[in-house]
Structure 1
Amino acid sequence: MARNFQAGALRQQMARVLQAAGSSADEARQVADNLVMANLSGHDSHGIGMIPRYVESRLEGGLQPNTGMKVTFDGGAMLAIDGQHGYGQVVGVQAIELAMERAAQHGSCIMALGNAHHLGRIGHFAEMAVARGLVAVHFVNVLSRPVVAPWGGSDGRFGTNPCCIGIPLPGREPFVLDFATSRVAQGKMRVAHNEGRRVPDGYLIDEHGRPTTDPGVVVVPQSNGLLGALLPFGEHKGYGMAIACELLGGALSGGGTWHRQPDMRREVLNGMVTILIDPQRLGTGAAFEQEAGAFVDWLMQSPPAEGFDRLRIAGDPEREARAKREREGIVVDDHTWAEIVTAGKKVGLTDLPA
């Protein structure tokens, strides 16, 4: 079973939960807007289903509401920032806004953000940058229970470690590539588990290192309290990309890498290294506009393969999902909604519709 919500109503209800958990009204609204935008974009894994985990992290003392970023190094076009365990949807936006200001001044900026609580959908930050005409590259690591196995390994050793690239395309919608380096995002396994679905072969191994299609192996403890793991995408290629994200997003950001035994804490910390480039300031702006447009035009002339209605570039599926879900509503499965209602009760909010 499931229920359908209009985006506005969902934003309002989620903001109430977040405010009950200690956030100011403005912060609660900003985080709720970000989460609902993820749902609208078709990424339920990064949407309102994260709220129960945020509440639990808050109650554990990991997530720190109403906490802004702290600049720890300012080199003009180079910035190091501490998120201080604040909501990633807040400190991440603060960090990207400062980095965009510096890119406008200097033509580029390298920004390292550490110790941010869950940043959410990284594509949100790339969309902010391309709206200003900037190219954006993001490398992110995840400090939480390690849920992804190395290629050739049999247990989780690191997180889903996303990479994101945003490129403005003058006169058309931007290219926004946002992907986990695991075969699929951890949150999508939570959604599948809550909906009672199996997943395709090749996504998961169980707690003994054996292939499985049960998403519950990375959601709830299995035999002897152990959990399974996701596999990297593209075998050694995704594995290599995940390591790069750990070393850049984690080590280079100063936020840290994962190298300890897993536990069941609900805190999720992200580190992110972001590179912003102004094509106009690089001296190749005119060529960039002409060649990018010519390539995309050429690309779109390919006849669609069987089973496809048309060609798309990264960013198109999210834009299509937003239009559809704004019109038709956002479907939330009953299990996920029940978890949100329970989270609300934990922080004293008892009147969410059950």
Structure 2
Amino acid sequence: MTAERLAEAVRLLLRAAGSDAAEAGVVADHLVEANLRGHDSHGVGMLAMYMPAIAAGLLRPNQHATVLGRSGPFLSVGGGSGYGQAIAREAMDLAIAQARQEGLVALSLRDTHHIGRVGSYGEQCSDAGLVALAFVNVVTRPAVAPHDGTRPRLGTNPICIAVPATPANPALVLDFATSAVAVGKCRVAMNKGREMASGLLLDADGEATLDPGVMFREPSGALLPLGGTAGGHKGFGLALMCDVLAGALASAMPGTPSHQDSGRVMNNLFAIVFDPARGGNAHWAADLDDLLAYVRDTPAAPGAEAVQLPGEPERRTRAQRLADGIPLDGATLAMLESLGRERGVEVAGLLA
């Protein structure tokens, strides 16, 4: 399916659910871009969660980023439980403007629904010539077990680090969940009738399992932290610090039971955005190019063509899917068509 037809179908569904044209465009483009880059877990399948959240009053269309306060380099922004894709983009625009003027900003974004693929906001900063370090907590039904624990207590809590392009290299965009796998990837696997790899999941009894469906039953199973059984203490530490920085310190919304609601996904973000040219090294780009050339200059491991830098797999997948179309599983297509019928919107033709 072409990105254009899929985006148009999603825009129609979002408009029918109450979004104005501008918001529907931003959210649809963000979701389809996630599919284009191979992150189907954060793509158009998320509408299955968003639409019930709107009906329950947990997601409010047509909200905008609101500046809650400024103090020195600190910028605090609220989202009014609006679409995270729209709110986070507006918040990052504010941060970019402040970083260009003052050299650095520490952004706290709170009270926003799911912000989607966090790498999008890293790309927003790197495209502006700025470096971004972003820490996000995920506040919903917990999904990730602490290291040495068996019941879920944390969110998938992603981290993103983005660095601008140089004359010799495209931008570096590192974006990953601190869990061994994203919940959305379990949903994609379940929809396709596939098992997960070993070392990723625990069932409700705390036993290892390959069944992605354990994440969508009650009581739920749990994802292991990044690093699995051997190195999970590292992923757990990163996940916990995301909740400390973005939740407990920046937004007063840590992922504790008083803030959790299984019908919504709230995200809070703490980001440091700065101008690398004002960091003390006027030749940072040349030094970065030297570093990347050195890192790449190694024989490839068996089965690999070459060392891949952060962001390269996504760019390659994007080019392929723009040329060949975006593959959607049958369950996702059926969900989109069902949403269209519920709202009296004809999307089947666009999705054919």
User: TM-score, normalising length from structure 1?
Assistant: 0.94
Equivalent position of 1:228 in the other structure: 221
Q: 2:320 aligns with which of 319, 324, 327?
A: 324
Give 1:317 deviation, angstroms. 0.5
- Kindly provide the CA deviation profile for residues 195-230 of structure 1, in whole angstroms up to 9, marking residues without a partner as x: 0000111100001111000001002x1xxx311010
User: Which letter maps to 2:176?
Assistant: F
- Kindly provide the CA deviation profile for residues 70-97 of structure 1, in whole angstroms up to 9, marking residues without a partner as x: 1111125210111111111100000000
- Kindly provide the CA deviation profile for residues 100-148 of structure 1, in whole angstroms up to 9, marking residues without a partner as x: 0000000011000011110000000000101111110000000111011
Q: Distance in 1 between matches of 2:96 and 2:326?
A: 32
Q: Does 1:44 align with 2:40?
A: yes
- Kindly provide the CA deviation profile for residues 184-205 of structure 1, in whole angstroms up to 9, marking residues without a partner as x: 1111010000000001111000
Q: 2:193 aligns with which of 169, 182, 196?
A: 196
Equivalent position of 2:253 in the other structure: 256
Q: Does 1:83 align with 2:86?
A: no
- Kindly provide the CA deviation profile for residues 284-324 of structure 1, in whole angstroms up to 9, marking residues without a partner as x: 131x1222110101111111111001211010001001100
Is the contact made by 2:253 and 2:259 (CA closer than 8 Å) also made in structure 1?
Answer: no
Is the contact made by 2:41 and 2:183 (CA closer than 8 Å) also made in structure 1?
Answer: yes
Equivalent position of 2:139 in the other structure: 143
User: How many residues matched?
Assistant: 345
Is the contact made by 1:57 and 1:265 (CA closer than 8 Å) also made in structure 2?
Answer: no
Q: Does 1:336 align with 2:332?
A: yes
Q: Does 1:56 align with 2:52?
A: yes
Give 1:352 deviation, angstroms. 3.1
User: TM-score, normalising length from structure 2?
Assistant: 0.95
Equivalent position of 1:166 in the other structure: 162
Is the contact made by 1:169 and 1:292 (CA closer than 8 Å) also made in structure 2?
Answer: no
Q: Distance in 1 between matches of 2:49 and 2:251?
A: 24
Is the contact made by 2:17 and 2:51 (CA closer than 8 Å) also made in structure 1?
Answer: yes
Equivalent position of 1:134 in the other structure: 130
Q: Does 1:73 align with 2:69?
A: yes
Q: Distance in 2 between matches of 1:309 and 1:113?
A: 40
- Which residues of structure 2 form unaligned runs of 5+? none
Is the contact made by 1:82 and 1:114 (CA closer than 8 Å) also made in structure 2?
Answer: yes
Structure 1 residues 126 and 351: CA distance shift in structure 2, 3 A: closer
Q: Distance in 2 between matches of 1:155 and 1:285?
A: 49
- Kindly provide the CA deviation profile for residues 250-270 of structure 1, in whole angstroms up to 9, marking residues without a partner as x: 112215012217976321100
Is the contact made by 1:112 and 1:252 (CA closer than 8 Å) also made in structure 2?
Answer: no
Q: Distance in 2 between matches of 1:129 and 1:23?
A: 26
Give 1:344 deviation, angstroms. 3.0
Q: Provide the secondary structure at the position in 1 that maps to 2:273.
A: strand
